[in-house]
Amino acid sequence: MTDKSIFGLVCAGGGAHGAYQVGVLKYIHEKFCSGSRSPFQIFAGTSCGALNTTFYAAQSFDAFQSRLLLEELWLNFHVPAYHGSLFKNVLFSIYKKCRKRDSENKTTWSVLDPKAMLETIQKGFRRENLDRALNQGSTRGVALSATELLSGQTCWFQEGAGATSWSLFHSVGVIDRITHAHLAASCSVPIFLPPVKIGDRYFLDGSVNLDRPLSAAIHMGATRVLSISTDKPFPDALPDYPPQFQPRFSDAIRLLLNRLSRDAAPDEAAEIEMFNRFYNALSRREKHLRDESPLPLFHEEALPSHYRPTEIYLLVPSRRIRQGSPFYEWPQGKISSGEAVSHKRSRFMFHKKFIREMIDFGYQDARLQREELEKFFSPPKKRKYWSIFSRRIRPAVQAEGG
């Protein structure tokens, strides 16, 4: 790791659960800002996480003062239709569709009206502020993901000094000027919100087929990445079904929605940790012989001798989030009678009380992890040895490898 770390922020999707990230970022920018600047220089996100990351990417030159503005933005995002009965929303959408003339029925049908989401995006993302942050250098790169409608391919729209074009793992990196349309596309949950046209193509929620959520931040140059999830992963053990359990249609819908909001960052972080160890084992002796610039993971020309290790810190909620009892945990992987089907979806709970609870939850989780965050933002400096000591430790390394 280099002495000068480049900090990256990655935020996953999750609908109203994105308010948890707001609380975490509020604490971080309250305690770890360098002056008024954000400690992060690289920003990447998807869906609601894209809204949070682009907000701070545009406000990185004055993130300390802006930490309360994002909280206010989320608290004012109160749309009753977004947390009402799904069945009623579907019927109302069909009714409005039938009322339109044939000439007006060419638009894509969706359960929810995108107007409220678009208004929130316009309030939260100021293009002139992002231009200022990029010009001043407080933001080195910003990226958000969206899913191309016909191919299902993940597209990372990038902007900044670290932005490069790439194609890897069924995803592509595209250099583009970030606009409100890009954010709207990243947040457009299939069926619930309509696709968004960018250029000559249509795009949907970036979480649909996202398997490498950390890739864009790493490609843009981040050497230390903080990834914030929006829900605690399910237990490793499969749940035990109660005797009277019967599968319902809502269980299948819930399964699909959970797939949309799945955070693949832990899987990718495990892969990166494996490659970091592989790099340390192979290049410990010969890396000082080459004078080459480090390259990101999976680069086509990357070799162990000049691969750039990336440190990943995963921050996930300490408890699972559910409506009614927002902080719900499976007891030893078991589901109580009726629990699997009784709770409603909380990812569309854009209700002020629920958002307030989520923000406070994220703030408290970050506060409890203050020591780990301090280590993340204050990495140990790389030790330097005189050449005589370097020669002395070489036999030990060789013996260890043999």
pLDDT at residue 328 in the model: 39
CB atoms < 10 A from the CB of 164, how many?
14
Q: Which residue has the higher pLDDT, 267 or 364?
A: 364
pLDDT at residue 238 in the model: 81
The model's pLDDT over 184-239, given as tens digits with 9 standing for 90+, comes to: 999 998 888 889 999 999 999 988 888 889 989 998 999 999 999 988 877 777 87
Instruction: State what percent of residues in the chain have pLDDT above 90.
Output: 42
pLDDT at residue 43 in the model: 97
pLDDT at residue 88 in the model: 54
Q: Which residue has the higher pLDDT, 222 or 249?
A: 222
Cβ distance 157 to 147 under 8 Å?
no
Q: End-to-end CA distance of the chain, in Å?
A: 25
Q: Which residue has the higher pLDDT, 95 or 397?
A: 95
Q: State mean pLDDT over 305-310.
A: 66
Residue 313 pLDDT exceeds 90? yes
The model's pLDDT over 92-120, given as tens digits with 9 standing for 90+, comes to: 555 555 555 555 545 556 677 788 889 89
The model's pLDDT over 12-33, given as tens digits with 9 standing for 90+, comes to: 998 889 999 999 999 999 999 9
Rounded Cα gap, residues 221 and 9, in angstroms: 12
SS (H, E, C) the chain: CCCCCCEEEEECCCHHHHHHHHHHHHHHHHHCCECCECCCCEEEEECHHHHHHHHHHHCHHHHHHHHHHHHHHHHCCCCHHHHCCHHHHHHHHHHHHHHCCHHHCCCCCCCCCCHHHHHHHHHHCCHHHHHHHHHHCCCCEEEEEEEECCCCCEEEEEECCCCCCEEECCEEEEECCCCHHHHHHHHCCCCCCCCEEECCEEEEECCCCCCCCCHHHHHCCCCEEEEECCCCCCCCCCCECCCCCCCCHHHHHHHHHHHHCCCCHHHHHHHHHHHHHHHHHHHCCCHHHCCCCCECCCCCCCCHHHECCCEEEEECCCCEECCCCCEECCHHHECCCCHHHHCCCCCCCCCHHHHHHHHHHHHHHHHHCHHHHHHHHCCCCCCCCCHHHHHHHHHHHHHHHC
Rounded Cα gap, residues 57 and 143, in angstroms: 9
The model's pLDDT over 38-62, given as tens digits with 9 standing for 90+, comes to: 999 999 999 999 999 999 999 999 9
The model's pLDDT over 366-377, given as tens digits with 9 standing for 90+, comes to: 999 999 999 999
Mean pLDDT of the chain: 78
Going by pLDDT thresholds of 50, 70 and 90, the confidence category of residue 269 is: confident
Ramachandran class of 331: left when φ > 0, alpha when ψ lies in -120 to 50, beta otherwise: beta
